[in-house]
Amino acid sequence: MYTRKLMLAASAAAFALTGAPAMAERGTDGDLKIIFWQAVSTMNPYLSGGTKEVYGASMVIEPLARYDETGNLVPMLATEIPTVENGGVSADLKSITWKLKPDLKWSDGSAVTAEDAIFTWKYCTAPDGGCAQGAYYEGVSNVEAVDASTIKVSFADAKPYPYSAFVGAQAPIIQAAQFKDCLGAKAPECTSANFGPIGTGPFVVKEFKPNDVVTFEANPNYRDAAKPAFATVTLKGGGDAASAARSVLETGEFDYAWNMQVEPEILEQMMSAGKGKIEVAFGTQVERIDLNPYGVDPSLGDARSTKEAGPHPALSDPAVRRALSIAIDREIIDEAGYGPNGQPTCNILPAPDIYVSTAVDWCLTQDIEGANKLLDDAGWVMGSDGVREKDGVKLSFLFQTSTNSVRQGTQALLKDMWSQIGVTVELRNISANVFFGGDPASPDTFQKFMADVQMYTNNFDGTDPEKYMAGWMCDKIPSPASGWQGENIVRYCNPEYDALVKQLGTTGKLEDRAAIAKQLNDMLSNDVAQIPLIHRGQPSAVNNTLVGVKMNAWDSELWNVADWSRAK
């Protein structure tokens, strides 16, 4: 029932995209009902790092290429994957040239051109734009139109793995005409475009209700006249993971439910109804804990959770951070919340296998005695109330996460484990719609991180980790100046780390790239930039009447929704 799809090696091979057999007629299968218990807040993935936004938008806006269910790179808007061998990648590795498929049209009927790609690059790199996917354009020095259908991406330095800009669900091409007035600080203000982007995908947005429901209809200008099979899609948001699972597995009300973060025994019971199944793919998802290195006291005002707030009075101490990690029994957390869909880890980079470090397993065995000694030696004295203190500062933290039964269960377990080393936490849960929404006006997003400790899952597109590891660079830290966007949620800043990322970007040999990626992982783990907990599978619920689903841990789970249909 549960299968792991772990890649043995990264691959940039060009494979032809193979879909389901051609359908007789577009829109003959009625309405496709999808439920995300974490509701979508925008249809623009450049303004939110949340997976729910990336997945929702992937049905509408597309990249030049993306990753299939096996992790192989496949063309989408491009005719083929450029390589050195076919002349698409320059011999000096400083440019990559993409060719658009002929006669590509936006859903409004206008032509897709190289100018749209140029604009997308400018959009994500505009000053004060707060692009959530900036790492995808790291090192790009120019994007130009060789002709209307040919896009040349140039890099400041040789780029042995050039598949970043315009590749994967997190870096789609947006229409220049629609977003032309949305550059820089104006980006969040373009509500109409952000809620209803004109795209090239199989569906177009009919109506968008943020944090609630998105309705789609088949794109009349989609490049395959026989697809999609479904005339409309209803993407319902809200509720909780268990009720979403029930709507597919027990009642059959919905066709597909994403992110079944539900206790394994409950899922087994639901599946006994015989109306659906759980499909799982293992990729790079890691449930992790962020420890804020900056001050978060509300009295700090606008400086709160930024560099201007100064170091956190307790969590800036390496001894505290390491003690919190080794006090955790990850086996218990895995057994209680994930079962066969997870495994304990100390790595922030858990796959593919070639990139998996074996040098940082120090966190896998709970060590309460060792954690207490660390804190004793660092001068944190146990108080009569069971809470440690040093220089008037208590080890008392606000611990936030999204609302979900597995996460609240994990919070309770962590609270008990940490109490054994003199640490107390106030537990807080926030609606996932808000927590992952990216609204710069909300104080409760995970990007703003207005707490001492927070917990969530993250991962990356594809099988090469370069752009993902770039997300911990100093210039990717969210701040008011960036509209609180940026991949470096944990605010890690280490010049040595930044230099190593840049070295990875200029390294070609796969084995050498793997060695550097492991070094980066080990640096994050040993500095306790974050506390990795569980390498998670991606379980989603699929109705037995839905065919064509190919679970994908390397891209959007909805990557091939154009091929989905109803069983006849």
pLDDT at position 5: 31
Based on the number of CB atoms within 10 Å of its own CB, is 314 exposed (0-12), middle (13-18) or buried (19 or more)? buried
* Omega cis (within 30) before 352: yes
Tell me how far the alpha carbon of residue 239 is from its chain's centroid: 21
pLDDT at position 24: 52
DSSP state of 559: T
The dihedral over CA atoms of 557, 558, 559, 563, expressed in degrees to the nearest 10, equals: 130
Q: 133 near 115, Cβ under 8 Å?
A: no
Confidence of residue 49 (pLDDT cuts 50, 70, 90): confident
Q: 442 near 458, Cβ under 8 Å?
A: no
DSSP state of 262: S
pTM comes to 0.80
Strand partners, 96: 89, 153
Based on the number of CB atoms within 10 Å of its own CB, is 502 exposed (0-12), middle (13-18) or buried (19 or more)? middle
Contacts of 335 (CB under 8 A, 6+ apart): none
Mean of all residue pLDDT scores within the chain: 93
Q: Rg of the chain over CA atoms, in angstroms?
A: 23
pLDDT at position 415: 98
Strand pairing category for 232-237 and 393-394: unpaired
Which pLDDT tens digit goes with each residue over 515-557? 999 999 999 999 999 999 999 999 999 999 999 999 999 999 9
Q: 88 near 96, Cβ under 8 Å?
A: yes
pLDDT at position 16: 34
**Residue indicated by tokens 């209680």:** 336
Q: 249 near 256, Cβ under 8 Å?
A: no
The dihedral over CA atoms of 163, 167, 171, 173, expressed in degrees to the nearest 10, equals: 120
Which pLDDT tens digit goes with each residue over 256-293? 999 998 998 999 999 999 999 999 999 999 999 999 99
